[in-house]
Structure formats: C-alpha cells, structure tokens
Amino acid sequence: MNIDALYVHPIKSCAPVALNEARVTARGLEHDRRWMIADGDGKFLTQRTLPGLALVHIAIDGERYVVRREGQPALLLPFAHDDGARVDVEVWGDHMRARRHDHGSDWFSRVVGGDVQLVFMPDDTRRPVDEDYARADDIVSFADGFPLLVVNRASLEALAHDAGSDVDVRRFRPNVVVAGAEPWAEDNWRVLAVGDSAARSLTLRTPKPCARCSIPGVDPNTAAITKEPLRTLAKLRTRDHQALFGINAIPDGEGTLRVGDSVRPLDM
C-alpha cells in the first residue's frame, strides 16, 4: 500500500489543492481548512447549501493563497490571519473563536450572492476532537470532525463499478488517498503507519468510518447536483441510516507525507 494522492482544502468546502507532499500538524495537514465561510451568526456554510463553492479554486503561491472564481477578481489571502476582528463561529455544534477577514468576506458575499463571513482559525483556538474517539489533546481545524480523512482508492473503484460510472475522488473531500489495498479493507484498519523509514514514520489512528452528507452529490467540475454516487453508496454502505465512505484519522505527532510513501496497517 502507498499514498496515491494528497489533498488540502485551504477554505472549507471550496475546491481542493492536490499536493505531492504535505506537512502533518496536530490539526491535520498544513493548509487544510483553517479558513471557513460562515453566515452572519457565525454558523459554518458548505456545499450542502452553497454547491457553487465547488467552483472556487485556490492556488498556493509563495506565502499566500490565490482564490479565484469566474467573473470575480482574484482574492489574495495570507496563510494566517491574526489581526482581524474576533468572532464566534460554530461547526456541527462546536463553538469557537475565529478572526474575520473583511475583504474576503466581501468577496465571498459577492460570489454567493448573500451576506457571509470569511474567517480564519488562529493558533490560540483549539477545537477538540470528539472525546468518544480521541485523546484529550487531539485537536482539529474547521473540518467536520477529524484532522484527516483517508480514502481507499480500491473502494472508490468498487463504488464506481456498482454505480456504472466514474466517481471523482474529490467528491469525498479526502486528505489522503491510499492505493494497493483491497476494496473496503479500511473497515479493519485501526492504526496506519506511513513512511518509508523509521525516521519518517508517522502513525495515524483511524477510529471510525466517515458518515457522508450530500456533498458527494455535487459535481466538483460543474457544481451540478447528481444522484450518484450517493444513491449507490446508500445501497452498499449504510449503517444506522448513514451512508459511509472513507475513514477518519488522527495523527500521532507531526511529520511529512509524500505521494508514494508506504502505508501499513498495524494491529494495535
């Protein structure tokens, strides 16, 4: 098994950025979901209600992000934003403090056609991972609940086969895509060791599968709403009335992941 692809989502629910290597931090991959769009009350907004966010593309350019949407001038954002007004925000019932970016808020308000805020999670905001699945010091960014999402490429191909059409992995918003495993092998993963040497080895705890919302039904190329692959996934992989795909992960320590790195399940 090896890492087949790496993705970060600098702004939650906007288009991902594919990388050849990525630094792992306690919150997840560097550049992943430290920015987020929220409504006027601070509640997070995603492709669930704003599918057009799929067409907001981001590039990493030196020490900044370049954010683009057709019909708008480019938005330039720093990697970190620690001097904006502090605002209260909420993600799936978790309440925390963030920094508002005024120019970015105006830009996204034009893009979505409504009054929204662009906010950044500063280093002094520490959002804990669900204690039912985590250790006391595990933290997460603006991701839905866990620092990392791992997808098994063979499971994606099995889903595509049953759906009768190709399925773009970006629909599932992964951070790490693993190749070389059997379909649905992730059901038995508990800990993954990643890296080709002891000096670079990093372990990822994989405590639970990922319950999917409506976002995999958004075409990442057009933002159109489609029935697949969710219709087929619901038939194949439903537990407690939730469709499951991919596995949530928590890093043990920091390090660097690279495309091609070996991945080994550990019996721990």
Q: What is the pLDDT of residues 211-224, one digit of tens each?
A: 999 999 999 999 99
pLDDT band for position 181 (cuts 50, 70, 90) = very high
Whether residue 196 has pLDDT greater than 80: no
pLDDT band for position 252 (cuts 50, 70, 90) = very high
Instruction: Output the pLDDT for position 242.
Output: 92
Whether residue 138 has pLDDT greater than 60: yes
CA distance 89 to 44: 7
Instruction: Output the pLDDT for position 175.
Output: 98
Instruction: Output the pLDDT for position 143.
Output: 98
Average pLDDT over residues 49-66: 97
Please report, rounded to a whole number, the percentage of residues in the chain having pLDDT higher than 70. Answer: 98
Instruction: Output the pLDDT for position 240.
Output: 87
Average pLDDT over residues 112-119: 97
Whether residue 25 has pLDDT greater than 60: yes
Instruction: Supply the mean pLDDT for the chain.
Output: 96
Whether residue 237 has pLDDT greater than 90: yes
pLDDT band for position 115 (cuts 50, 70, 90) = very high
Instruction: Output the pLDDT for position 198.
Output: 57
CA distance 10 to 23: 13
pLDDT band for position 197 (cuts 50, 70, 90) = low
Average pLDDT over residues 192-209: 86
Please report, rounded to a whole number, the percentage of residues in the chain having pLDDT higher than 90. Answer: 96
Whether residue 200 has pLDDT greater than 90: no
| CATH of the domain spanning 2-266, picked from 1.10.645.10, 1.20.1050.10, 2.60.40.10, 2.40.33.20 | 2.40.33.20
Virtual CA dihedral for 176, 177, 183, 184, nearest 10 degrees? 20
Average pLDDT over residues 142-156: 98
pLDDT band for position 199 (cuts 50, 70, 90) = low
pLDDT band for position 96 (cuts 50, 70, 90) = very high
